[in-house]
Amino acid sequence: MVSFIAAAGAMAVVGTAHAQSMARVWGANVLGQASPPQIVEGVTAVALSSEHSLALLPNGSIRGWGANTVNGINFNYGQTVEPSDLGACKAIAAGTSISVALRTDGIVRVWGKTDSYGTKTIPTDLGACTAIACMSNHIVALQESGTVRAWGRNDKNQCVVPADLGACKAIACGSQNSGAIRTDGTVVVWGSNDHGVCTVPSDVGASTAIAIGDRHGIALLENRTVRTWGSNAQGQLNVPVGIGACIAVAAGYYNSVALQADGVVRAWGNNTQGECNVPPDLVGVTSIAAAGYNVAAVQAKSFIELLSDATTANAALTASNAALTARLNCGDLNGDGEVNGADLGRMLISWGQCQ
């Protein structure tokens, strides 16, 4: 099932400003996570968990959906309703039954289900942050200093940040793993290594972004190529042949997603819930997200709007060419309304009535 949010606004966090924007979500929808409400204020970023979805709006507020009532049971633990005192935010993340936001002042906020694993207990010494990541009951945050912090469920040591990690520039969360990219581009992953997720291949060069699924990792290298590792039981490591230069990556449980520089989304791996069925009318994408059996994209404009833009641009070009042709036909090459020595090439054109 594919749903969308028709919106008007500007991109933020991971995109470029546009006059129109919408969020598209596809894959599993048993809890309503792929059925977003209409949001007229605009959408700048989307975050997903296996139960719910979040949208970040241009004014820094957040809207959530999913975890709806199924068979009379209410699965909403409050993660789709932002705190009244949240304030303006610049980034969002979602985990199982919890939501995470990074305010514009760098403060991290968490809300949702009862604090079973200490996920909602934000470290008191956590400084201002620049990035957040969340999945399966643990959170990773990147402080302004480049220091990585992690807390919450720690049964696989996913919250034990390597002592020698050093300063980093990007972070990621998997079901049982955490990851980061050092300032030199080196990818480091820790937590469960049952499927080799922590064993980053030596040929994974300097990277700019990473994503971690349930049993695999994916990195976006500085040369814009995509590299994967870990379990390939569902084909999640099989990067499509002919994939173009990419600018973002994401990972669900058993699938991988990449965003090409031309705005095209590519998805591969498990497709039992249609998570790899990229909508055929999906164009102009500026950012992506994935979690569980869902994938989301922030689309700059719809196909119809892009077509309208192209039509308008072509009409303007046609009018401009017509005006130029008219000037050439009357010898007025410089457009000053007179035919004189300043009009180079005057003798090479056909004289006609000036228009």
What is the structure's pLDDT at 336? 65
- Please report the domains of the chain, with CATH numbers, ordered by start residue: 2-169+233-304 (2.130.10.30), 308-348 (no CATH)
What is the structure's pLDDT at 73? 73
Asked whether 43 and 57 are in contact (CB, 8 A), the reply is yes
CA distance 263 to 132: 24
* Three-state secondary-structure class, residue 101: strand
In this structure, what is the dihedral angle of CA atoms 255, 259, 264, 266, given to the nearest 10 degrees? -20
CA distance 231 to 233: 6
Dihedral sign for Cα 199, 123, 112, 42, please.
Answer: negative
User: Which tens digit of pLDDT belongs to each residue from 281-335?
Assistant: 998 999 999 999 999 999 986 544 555 555 555 666 666 666 666 655 655 656 6
User: Which tens digit of pLDDT belongs to each residue from 10-69?
Assistant: 222 333 334 468 889 999 998 999 988 877 678 999 999 999 999 999 999 999 999 876
What is the structure's pLDDT at 325? 64
Report the pLDDT averaged over residues 121-128.
96
Tell me the pTM. 0.81
DSSP-assigned states of every residue in 20-81: EEEEEEEE--TTSTT-PPP-TT--SEEEE-SSEEEEE-TTS-EEEEE---BTTB----STTS
CA distance 70 to 68: 6
CA distance 182 to 206: 9
User: Which tens digit of pLDDT belongs to each residue from 151-206?
Assistant: 999 999 999 999 999 999 999 999 999 999 999 999 999 999 999 999 999 999 99
Report which of 294, 129, 293, 133 is spatially closest to residue 211, judged by C-alpha positions.
133
Report the pLDDT averaged over residues 218-224.
98
pLDDT higher at 100 or 38? 100
Report which of 297, 347, 327, 339 is spatially closest to residue 55, judged by C-alpha positions.
297
CA distance 7 to 136: 30
* Three-state secondary-structure class, residue 322: helix
Length of the chain: 355
For the chain, the 3-state helix, strand and coil shares in percent, each to the nearest 5, are 10, 35, 55
* Inter-CA distances, 291 with 93, 204, 287, 294, Å: 10, 23, 14, 6
Beta bridge partners of 86: none
Dihedral sign for Cα 143, 15, 31, 235, please.
Answer: negative
User: Which tens digit of pLDDT belongs to each residue from 139-154?
Assistant: 999 999 999 999 999 9
